[in-house]
Amino acid sequence: MSTEAAAYPKLLKIYKELNRQNEIILDAERERNELELERDSLKGFAKLTKKGELQSRIDRKNEEIDLLKVGLSGIAKRYGFQTVHDFYKAFAVSKTANADYQVKADKWEERYGEKVQRREESIHRRLQNYQKENTDRQARQTSKNRDRGAR
């Protein structure tokens, strides 16, 4: 197993953590977009009264999103990667190496593994059964022949 393939489980754990963080960021951006739509759809007197409140909520949400994005790069740095992009490159290499290893391991198992031994044993058993049936058949044939001659 190559080092890239061996690192895959650890990188997969980091990948899942980054995906959770990305989902949180997307949820926050969705909320911000809803607030912006609500602010933009205000009419008349409500536009004067609620616009400031909605704008401050949007600004807080923008700050929250910025902090979450910094946390995203912090996750990558915590595991020794300079950027999230560097992590994704390493993850892609590791993922393909692991997939190649799995294919090779499956081929080896198919060719030399336990299943092959069982198949060979079953062929051996079938051959033994065939030989046994053949000897039984021959023994019956000779007993029939003896019976005919005795009459």
The 10s digit of each residue's pLDDT in 4-23 is 888 888 888 999 999 999 99
Q: Which string of b and e fits 28-61 if b means at least 16 CB within 10 Å?
A: beeebeebeeebeeeeeeeeeeeeeebeebbeeb
> Nearest-CA neighbor of 31 among 15, 49, 54?
54
pLDDT of amino acid 117 = 59
Does residue 101 register a pLDDT over 70?
Answer: yes
Average pLDDT over residues 44-61: 83
Average pLDDT over residues 45-58: 81
- pTM here? 0.61
Does residue 120 register a pLDDT over 90?
Answer: no
pLDDT band at 133 (very low <50, low <70, confident <90, very high): confident
Counting DSSP H helices and E strands in the chain, the numbers are: 4, 0
Looking at per-residue pLDDT, the higher value among 145 and 70 belongs to 70
Average pLDDT over residues 20-46: 88
Looking at per-residue pLDDT, the higher value among 119 and 64 belongs to 64
What are the structural domain ranges in the chain?
3-95
Distances from the Cα of 18 to the Cαs of 11, 22, 29, 104, in angstroms? 10, 6, 16, 29
pLDDT of amino acid 149 = 56
pLDDT > 90: percent of the chain: 26
Contacts 24+ apart (CB under 8 A), 30-33: 31/61, 32/58, 32/61, 32/62, 32/65
